Amino acid sequence: SQQGEEDPQALSIQEGENATMNCSYKTSINNLQWYRQNSGRGLVHLILIRSNEREKHSGRLRVTLDTSKKSSSLLITASRAADTASYFCATDEDNYGQNFVFGPGTRLSVLP
């Protein structure tokens, strides 16, 4: 079964607006990570949040984690056209890094 599932699947916003993407998962985890992928390119690690953390910031990125609801959100503030990409969350399914499971991703389009 899909572990991380992103919501929405596609999001289109204007430059300068904030973009919020959500991720839900089913099993317990040690950590959750967010990745970015430009079309047909590699996955770039954005931010990692551990199961005992509730919020983390990195530049214009803000990630929250609610383990009681098994969900996470990625907020990109003051979006730019260059933020256009697909964003995936990945969880480790509480297996100490033996592998991690990606959700289907949110395709973000930031319009100039």
By the criterion CB under 8 A, which residues form the site for other proteins?
Answer: 30-31, 33, 35, 40-45, 48, 50, 88, 92, 95-105
Nearest to other proteins of 33, 71 (CB atom): 33
CB nearer to other proteins: pick between 45 and 54: 45
User: Position of tokens 């969350």?
Assistant: 89
**How far is it, in rounded angstroms, from Cα 13 to Cα 90?**
24
- Tell me how far, at minimum, the Cβ of 15 lies from other proteins, in Å: 25
The amino acid sitting at 94 is D
* Beta carbons within 10 angstroms of residue 80's beta carbon: 12
Minimum CB–partner distance for residue 68 and other proteins (Å): 19
At 18 the three-state DSSP class reads coil
